[in-house]
Amino acid sequence: MPGTIIVSDRMPLVLAIFCFIVGPLAAKPPVIEVRPIGTHPIQKAIDSLDPSQAFTLIRLAPGTYREKIHIPKDRPPFKLLGESADTTRIVWNDSAESKDGRGQPMGTFRSASITIESNDFAAENLCFENDHGPGVQAVALSIGGDRGIFRHCRFLGWQDTLLLRKKRQYFDQCQIAGSVDFIFGDATAFFSRCQIDCRDAGFITAASTAGESNHGFVFSRCRITASGGQPFFLGRPWRPHASVHFLQCELPAELRREGWDNWRDPDNETTARFAEWRSSGPGATPEKRCAWSRQLDDPAGRGLSRPWTILSKWDPDHVLTAERISRLPRQQQTEWHDYLERSQHAMTEARDLLREELRQAGLERPRKPADHGRPPSAERDPEWYESKEADDLAEAVISFQTPSGAWSKSTDYREGPREPGTHWSPHGGGDLPWHYVGTLDNRATTGEIRFLARYYHASRSLKALRAIHRGLDHLHASRFPNGGWPQVWPLEGGYHDHITFNDDAMIHVLELLADVSSGREPFDFVDRNLRQRSHDDLKAGIRCLVDAQIELDGKPAVWCAQHDPLTLAPVGARLQEPASLSSSESVRVVRFLMNHAPDEKKSIESALAWFEASKRTGIRREERDGRRFYDEQAGDAGFWWGRFHDLETNQPIFSGAEDGRIYGTFAELFKHNPTEYAYYTTEARSLLSRDEPAWRRR
């Protein structure tokens, strides 16, 4: 297999590493094939990983791998992939009482069959097992690295099966079995659609969540079983402030009716954060639960059921990662891996340049540029662009262009050009902050390109011309293979990786490309090749708009403010921006299609029908106690739309900027959250009254 290494005793590891690094037909991503032959084959593959590789796939052939594995912090991102959890097993049998090399008991933490210290580890279709047996702590898997992802995996043990230490982990459709405290630790972990099996009497969880941590363990839509037929508890607090939530989980009759245990310490009852939401099954008896646990209301439960809320804006199902790309059909993977590699290279190049500037300037950390600015205007009188003031402003704008060809947002260019050792972005913190370094948010990048085009028309400045070309090159390089654009590029993670319609980020790109590809002034200087490339990017973007349109009751409706870069599914961003049908962004998407793709009739007609069916009356905006308030019972006749509508019911929803809870009415939101956000809008009025008739005439 080209680009693949087979690690076994039949091939010397040195030769395997050599082929891995210099093989002329290296795959994307590199693949290491491992077979259950010889001594420690998985550990050898892990030890052989090249730190310069962005991602490596280690594919395990079916079989039982009896070895104790340790993954140190310095290992680059990689994924262990098996055939299935039924056929591909990693097993060891140490316990807390097992002796180490010095003849001392190992203790619980060192008993794990596999210990993971590195970040961005992933596993799929594998069984992790400690087969020591009951009666003593014996860990199957211990993870202390950040952003661990486990899909379709099985974790088997008895006491202390799964140890989650610090950081964030995600479990999707996994099976976890044990008896006593078999999911334990101080991490923040989200379990989605997992089976949790109690093999004997005991406790599912023993969380030791830190008091300053917002969340501990969250189980969403999981099925709890009791194969041992013995009574058990949902959990007990290993430390004060333990946090465990079961959301829409199916509970068996064997669950103790009180649900939770205080671990023989009544003081734990005042600090533990134990709760359920919409439990089902014979064990769902909320009226019998211990008084110090909670039953959540619907807004709280819905807010906690979103992984990106629990995992501090890390959403393993929606950000763009090599692990997610590796699950695409093979024919699609190469262009997406190329895209991700291009982004990572651009990030490395920019960081290295800034570090070198800091070294030469004798600075320990970068200077912060002036904040609270905006892209310079491209709408001034033509004579102004010939002025000294325009020259100075253009000089400053060009100096803040990032190495990839973009700009940050809110930089105040009036303070003068960027000096070496000054960051390109005024956002972020730490020694080398990296936030919004190349963004489309708040008209950044597209605004600077438009300004420089106006300036070039007046000045014929070659520096301005080069900056324009670099900016257009950035837009081309940052376009996803499916035609969308992220909010920030190089990718920085979180919701910034999503295809972003919020604040018209992607629409501003498409409008700019439409002007460039048509050769309209001030872009009449653009050569034929660049115009054609812009035209191709524009067409790809329009196709992405149409493909991303959300269906409601089987019919195309409108768009979300953000969409998944791979699946185009609607996704959330900030706490107040849930996955939804988003009216404001959709108004401007429809308006763009009317003006630049009027033949996309089905898409436009469907969106117009949604706006017509979703309008509300009786709403009035006012001030209450110095805060924005929407009176939903005012009786006014004007039409309004919720900023966000539920993806299933199409009713307006209101997500709190502080708690992330989704409320059914604005009045309820008002009690618990700031309300500066525009939760109702009137933007669709002009779309229906002005833009629609004009489009139909055309």
686 three-class SS:
helix
Distance CA 408, CA 442 (A): 9
The DSSP H or E segment spanning 188 is: strand 188-192
Helices (H), 327-426: 330-361, 388-399
Distance CA 120, CA 202 (A): 32
- Whether the bond between 522 and the residue before it is cis, its omega within 30 degrees of 0, is yes
Task: Tell me phi and psi for residue 545, to 5 degrees.
Answer: -55, -50
CB proximity list for 510: less than 8 A, separation 6 or greater: 538, 541, 542, 545, 592, 596
- Spell 202-218 as b/e; 16+ CB within 10 A means b: bbbbbbbbeeebebbbb
Residue among 584, 639, 641 at smallest CA distance from 617: 639
- Spell 510-521 as b/e; 16+ CB within 10 A means b: bbbbbbbbbeee
434 three-class SS:
coil
Q: Are 214 and 575 in contact (CB under 8 A)?
A: no
Residue among 102, 127, 311 at smallest CA distance from 216: 311
User: Within 13 Å and on the Cβ side, how many CA atoms surround 520?
Assistant: 8
Residue among 162, 165, 163, 175 at smallest CA distance from 86: 175
CA distances from 442 to 407, 504, 677 (A): 11, 8, 16
Distance CA 118, CA 135 (A): 30
Q: Are 116 and 73 in contact (CB under 8 A)?
A: no
Active site residues: 160, 181
505 three-class SS:
helix
Distance CA 556, CA 610 (A): 9
148 three-class SS:
strand
- The residues pairing with 247 across neighbouring beta strands, listed in sequence order, are 220, 277
Q: Which two tokens stand for residue 156?
A: 């088997």
Distance CA 349, CA 230 (A): 58
Q: Which two tokens stand for residue 291?
A: 């008084």
Give me the DSSP letters along 519-568: T-TTSTT--HHHHHHHHHHHHHHHHHHHHHPPEETTEE----SEE-TTT-
CA distances from 690 to 182, 194, 598, 604, 696 (A): 62, 51, 15, 14, 10
595 three-class SS:
helix
Q: Are 567 and 550 in contact (CB under 8 A)?
A: no
Q: Which two tokens stand for residue 62?
A: 């079916």
Distance CA 162, CA 174 (A): 12
Distance CA 69, CA 684 (A): 58
Q: Are 273 and 243 in contact (CB under 8 A)?
A: yes
Distance CA 342, CA 363 (A): 29
